Amino acid sequence: MDITTATIEDLQVALESGEETAVSLTKEYLQAIDASEVNAFLSVYKDALEQAEVVDKRRSEGEEGPLLGVPLALKDNILVADKPVSAGSKILEDYTGTYSATVVEKLCSAGAVLLGRTNMDEFAMGSSTEHSAYGPTKNPHDPSRVPGGSSGGSAAAVAAGLAPAALGSDTGGSVRQPASFCGVVGLKPTYGAVSRSGLIAMGSSLDQIGPLTRSVADAEVLFDAIAGADPLDSTTYPAGTYPKADDAPQTIGVPRALLETDGVAPAVKENFANSLDSLKEAGYEIVDIELPGLAEALAMYYIIMPAEVSSNLARYDGVKYGLRTDDADLFTQYIHTRRDGFGPEVKRRLLLGTYVLSAGYYEAYYRTAVRARRVLSETLADAFDHVDAIATPTTPAPAFKLAELAADPLEMYLQDVFTVGANIGGNPAISVPSGRANLEGAALPLGLQLMAGKGQEATLFTLGKAFEAARDS
């Protein structure tokens, strides 16, 4: 079986028939990782084969399940007990997980085999994986280009056939944008759908863990495995909080004004028009909608996120864990540890967050952004009274070249213009591969993003599968 293109569903068929075992699959993926040059993995877990042996034994004892024996990769900000985890940062270079994330516990009890940890922008801050302290990951479709970020290692691993699926985290688009750049499916669940216990925090009112997969069906399998209320994360919600839609999705809204944003590539607009045609042919009604405030979601994000970053990252002080510089007094140790441990993008956001929370500016920036966020959340909720989903491109352009956007941080931030609204509103959104743009001799993947009302992941799976079928017909 060709492990580089196999979906979780394909692997399960091979495992059930006895054609493959968890051990044989794990060996094949470990070999592929070893031979790969895209720098998708920071390290593989030493006990991967032992995990596989245990899982094969579980199957021989009669256990079954959609993830039983399936190897998976984890973004380097998800804790596994007794295994290294660094969040792509020097400050956690020698850190070992002291407990396992809830999502890890769930995957292990479902019988998944954890292959290793994937590269990412430091503390998930970035859209290219170039902000990793351990070197950039390359896009498997064109190694001169970035895989997107911050879950770039996870997206590249799935695209390059180094794992059938992976987990990432999405604060402003960090699962969906790399999924789009690498030609894989990426899901950002509803805020509170998946526990963040054991996820290294970035922006706590925005962060969600989500799957990167080769098909929408696989994204659904992984989402079902990791979702659910968790006493260890008080922002998770119990089943029934958001009633399921009664009817099958029918209507898809398009916020036309946002497509006219500066910097949306002509190839992206053309591809998006084709995607809408495919959805129409599949029987869905496409309507134009107005969403005042959506264009400002990114501005809200660049106040709220750095504010939360500056608070969350205060814990890296060289006292309790991670890097510590050798200094004669405590204050000097704080500032030198953080100087040596954090990269430039993290420092920029720490300073920005400190500014918007500081006396005199808190009202003008932070409180204003929180108020604007409430307005946009209500606008989105109202919109979902009339449409079942909102469609946009996932990114304004296909994958850019390494170092192309390094000079101006704001240019990099604008990568998230279509994705960030779902984080601000707390809505689920999925990116599904929608074709290629031919650019300088490379065929670069593009993605269609579908966003739904809170708790309506099922709508995204239905529409995503219908789109895959229409796209491939």
Partner 1 sequence: MKDDINIEKLAELARLDLADTDTAELSENIASILDYVASVEAVAASGEDTQAIGPVYNVLRADVDAHEPGAYREALLREAPAVDEEGFIIVPPIL
Q: Which is nearer to partner 1, 157 or 369 (CB)?
A: 369
Q: Residue 198 interacts with partner 1 (CB under 8 A)? A: no
Answer yes or no: 100 catalytic: no
Check if the beta carbon of residue 123 is closer than 8 Å to that of residue 199: no
Nearest to 402 by CA among 177, 193, 131, 191: 131
Should residue 469 be labelled a site residue for partner 1 when binding is judged by CB under 8 A?
Answer: no
Active site (annotated) includes residue 128: no
Cα 164 to Cα 107: distance, rounded to the nearest angstrom: 14
Q: Which of residues 19-78 bind partner 1 (CB under 8 A)?
A: none
Of these, 152, 249, 322, 445, which contacts partner 1 (CB under 8 A)? 322
Residue 174 annotated as catalytic: yes
Please identify which residue in 58, 348, 436, 465 interacts with partner 1, judged by CB under 8 A. Answer: 348
Q: Are 454 and 243 in contact (CB under 8 A)?
A: no
Q: What distance in Å separates the CA atoms of residue 460 and residue 275, rounded to the nearest whole number?
A: 15
Q: Which is nearer to partner 1, 69 or 318 (CB)?
A: 318
Which residue, 196 or 214, is less far from partner 1 as judged by CB?
196
Q: Is 311 in the site for partner 1 (CB under 8 A)?
A: no
Catalytic residue among 100, 154, 174, 180: 174
Task: Output the 3-class SS for the chain.
Answer: CCCCCCCHHHHHHHHHHCCCCHHHHHHHHHHHHHHCCCCCEEEECCCHHHHHHHHHHHHHCCCCCCCCCCEEEEECCECCCCCECCCCCHHHCCCECCCCCHHHHHHHHCCCEEEEEECCCHHHCCCCCCCCCCCCCCECCECCECCCCCCHHHHHHHHCCCCCEEEEEECCCCCHHHHHHHCCEEEECCCCCECCCCECCCCCCCCEEEEEECCHHHHHHHHHHHECCECCECCCCCCCCCCCCCCCCCEEEECHHHHCCCCCCHHHHHHHHHHHHHHHHCCCEEEECCCCCHHHHHHHHHHHHHHHHHHHHHHCCCCCCCCCCCCCCHHHHHHHHHHHHCCHHHHHHHHHHHHHHCCCCCHHHHHHHHHHHHHHHHHHHHHCCCCCEEEEECCCCCCCECCCCCCCHHHHHHHHCCCHHHHHHCCCEEEEEEEEEEECCEEEEEEEEEECCCCCHHHHHHHHHHHHHHHHC
Q: Which of 150, 197, 278, 431 is catalytic?
A: 150
- Residue 9 or 345: the one with the smaller Cβ distance to partner 1 is 345
- CA pair distance 113, 163, nearest whole angstrom: 11
Applying CB under 8 A, the span of 70-78, 144-152, 260-268, 357-365 interacting with partner 1 comes to: 357-365
Give the residue, chosen from 319, 403, 443, 469, that forms a contact with partner 1 under the rule CB under 8 A. Answer: 319
Which of 455, 464, 461, 467 is CA-nearest to residue 245?
455
| Nearest distance, CB of residue 23 and partner 1, angstroms | 29
The binding track of 277-296 with respect to partner 1, each residue x by CB under 8 A or -, is ---------------xx--x
Bridge partners of 252, per DSSP, are: 286, 389
Q: Closest separation between CB of residue 237 and partner 1, Å?
A: 5
Q: How far is the CB of 70 from partner 1 (least distance, A)?
A: 28
Backbone angles phi, psi at 363, to 5 degrees: -60, -50
CB of 18 to partner 1, least distance (A): 39
Examine residue 302 and tell whether it contacts partner 1 (CB under 8 A).
yes
Check residue 344 for interaction with partner 1 (CB under 8 A).
yes
Does position 333 bind partner 1 by CB under 8 A? yes
Question: Computed from CA positions of residues 411, 413, 418, 419, in that sequence, does the dihedral angle turn out positive or negative?
Answer: positive
Residue from 23, 222, 258, 352 in contact with partner 1 (CB under 8 A): 352
CB of 233 to partner 1, least distance (A): 9
Tell me which residue has tokens 């509103």: 425
Tell me if 403 contacts partner 1 by CB under 8 A. Answer: no
Residue 347 makes contact with partner 1 by CB under 8 A? yes
Query: Which one of residues 310, 394, 419, 431 is an interface residue with partner 1 (CB under 8 A)?
Result: 310
Q: Does 461 participate in binding partner 1 (rule CB under 8 A)?
A: no
Query: What's the closest the beta carbon of residue 454 comes to partner 1, in angstroms?
Result: 7
Residues in 105-144 that interact with partner 1 by CB under 8 A: none
If the CB atoms of residues 183 and 426 are measured against partner 1, the closer one turns out to be: 426
Nearer residue to partner 1 within complex by CB, 110 or 307 = 307
Judged by CB under 8 A, the residue of 52, 134, 338, 466 near partner 1 is: 338
**Site for partner 1, residues 441 to 460, rule: CB under 8 A:** 454
Nearer to partner 1, 275 or 419 (CB): 419
Give the interface size with partner 1 as a residue count (CB under 8 A). Answer: 73
Interface with partner 1 (CB under 8 A), residue from 123, 134, 284, 413 = 413
Binding mask 360-399 toward partner 1 (x if CB under 8 A, else -) reads -x--xx-xxxxxxxxxxx----------------------
Site for partner 1 in 229-258 (CB under 8 A): 231, 234-237, 241
Of positions 136, 153, 425, 447, contacts partner 1 by CB under 8 A: 425
Residues acting as catalytic residues: 75, 150, 174
